[in-house]
Copies of this chain bind each other. A is one copy, B any other.
Amino acid sequence: MEGVIRCSANYVPLTPISFLERSAIVYRDRASVVYGNLQYTWNQTLQRCKRLASALAHLGISPGDVVAVLAPNIPALYELHFGVPMSGAILCTLNVRHDSAMVSVLLRHSEAKIFFVDHQFLQVAQEAIDILSKEGSKPPLLVFIPECDQPSPYISSISSISSSICTPGNFEYECLISKGNTDFEVRRPKDEWDPISLNYTSGTTSSPKGVIYSHRGAYLNSLAGVLLNEMGSMPVYLWCVPMFHCNGWCLPWAIAAQGGTNVCQRSVTAKGIFDSIAQHKVTHFGGAPTVLNMIINAPVSERRPLPGKVSVMTGAAPPPPQVLYKMEELGFSVTHSYGLTETYGPGTICTWKPEWDSLPREAQAKIKARQGVQHLGIEELDVKDPVTLKSVPADAKTMGEVMFRGNTVMNGYLKNVKATQEAFNGGWFRSGDLGVKHPDGYVELKDRSKDIIISGGENISTIEVESVLFSHPAVLEAAVVARTDDHWGETPCAFVKLKDGCNASAEEIISFCRSRLPRYMAPRTVVFEDLPKTNTGKVQKYVLREKAKSMGSLAKNNISKL
């Protein structure tokens, strides 16, 4: 079109780096990061991230290199979300629950050049590096992150750094920052499609996949995140969702976009959550249903009144209606979002409609447990026949595979074109989750395709059975998997953890379920024990499936006994 010119005045590749640079102007003196007695402003955070990027460049990091991290939700992990991309590199956050063998696998696969390690996980990291060395692989350079919940001596007086802790080969996080240069010219992506981070999907499979996020997708999912959390400017965000999980649902970048305050914490406890909310006037936090479960079951002595409206985003696993209901009773405003690592974390939002306010609270919780509709970053969400790609009818009954299309779907799996092709087969991202579409267009998950139980030819949604188990007053946690059955093929097997001081027999639990579900859906076996979980709060169903398998088949005589 005549008259059009594309240049630096009107075209800038989208990147979350812009959020930080803007907030360092607009919100320069407002608290960016809080951790114990440590507090930074947005201007300080920009300066620190620039120093970090400069130090990485000085250590030889080039655009496209991978920088790995093993750390909980501490300020350093927040800063790495900007500092690493500002050096042109790709941030690879590792799950702190991994053992050294898994960490070595991921370091090798990602070819990480530098590895930031929080002091708490130093041993695992060292062992992983030893494994790589023994194999003859070149291990990454390790940078040690000491505990730092006090203002660093380097902040007030950079010239006073003892050179002894900055000697070559002995890298320490604050020391690296102190040596960095705030005049560093930030290496912005040449193309917004360039990768910003690498997220290995949590260890539910033996060969983890490295999901690649782009600057464009991260930028757009951050803005979608602001909107789906109904965040105004300057929110106070409490970090319960691990930043190493889907880059904390992209919220490290989103909070920078809005000039908010990041309240960091090393570990997640009910007491810590209530205390932080009261002390910092937290406005928003997020967490898997297990975190909500922790909150509603906190002893009264640990609870504190909420200082104002506290919005909670839950996701990562379908929240049992009972849990949602009890959170609301405590005064929290809970919204439910759903997504996968491949969709940058949240991809849907169960948008709440005012007309639902007048429904009974239990009915409200049931509506809220639905996964909902696509958020603004996702172009299309649908439930489809995985073979024909035909949309299922919006009848709340017909199951299909949940699929996504949009700019906040990953670039692909690192070094695995085949897996990428399979995931995008037909031009849609196939989630592997089974669900239905309600007449109002809202999607509801019924199961992971691999979790579904097929009993006598009938599909049983383990989520539905778990939801009934959660409504039993003595049940703290529950998970249902398939157990082989001579007659039915498979039958539901429930793993249950009871609340402290509560008692219930397997027979009681089973008859409770039978009175609330079609008979074939009720568990035939109940096992009482602690549930194995990933650090992101997901129950490790593959562990439970192995257990159920080791129990052997449920013979006919057992059935008749029950």
Contacts and interface: CB of A to CB of B under 8 A. Distances in A.
Given A18-B379, A407-B10, A411-B10, A5 B420 contact: yes
A428 B223 contact: no
A12 B407 contact: yes
B420 A8 contact: no
A411 B441 contact: no
A502 interface: no
A415 B26 contact: no
Interface in A398-455: 404-407, 409-417, 419-421, 423-424, 427-429, 440-441
Contact of A227 (B4, B226, B354): B226
Given A25-B373, A28-B441, A257-B376, A424 B5 contact: yes
Contact of A6 (B6, B374, B411): B411
Interface string A141-158: 000000000000000000
A353 B22 CA distance: 15
A553 to B, nearest CB: 40
A351 B4 CA distance: 32
A11 to B, nearest CB: 6
B373 A12 contact: no
A342 to B, nearest CB: 9
Contacts of A354: 234
A508 B301 CA distance: 70
Nearest to A420: B5
Nearest to A413: B3
Contacts of A258: 227
Interface string A339-368: 000000000000101100000000000000
A392 to B, nearest CB: 15
A376 B22 contact: yes
A414 B3 contact: yes
Interface in A1-59: 1-12, 14, 18-19, 22, 25-28, 30
A4 B424 CA distance: 11
Contacts of A8: 405, 427-428
Given A26-B351, A27-B351, 9 more contacts: A4-B411, A5-B421, A8-B428, A10-B405, A10-B409, A12-B379, A223-B223, A223-B227, A230-B233
30 contacts: A1-B212, A3-B414, A3-B415, A3-B419, A4-B212, A5-B412, A5-B417, A5-B424, A8-B428, A9-B404, A9-B409, A9-B424, A9-B427, A10-B409, A10-B411, A10-B412, A12-B379, A12-B405, A12-B407, A18-B379, A25-B374, A26-B351, A26-B441, A27-B351, A223-B223, A223-B227, A230-B233, A233-B351, A257-B376, A259-B351
Interface of A: 1-12, 14, 18-19, 22, 25-28, 30, 64, 193, 195, 210, 212, 217, 223, 226-227, 230, 232-234, 257-259, 351, 353-354, 373-374, 376, 379, 404-407, 409-417, 419-421, 423-424, 427-429, 440-441
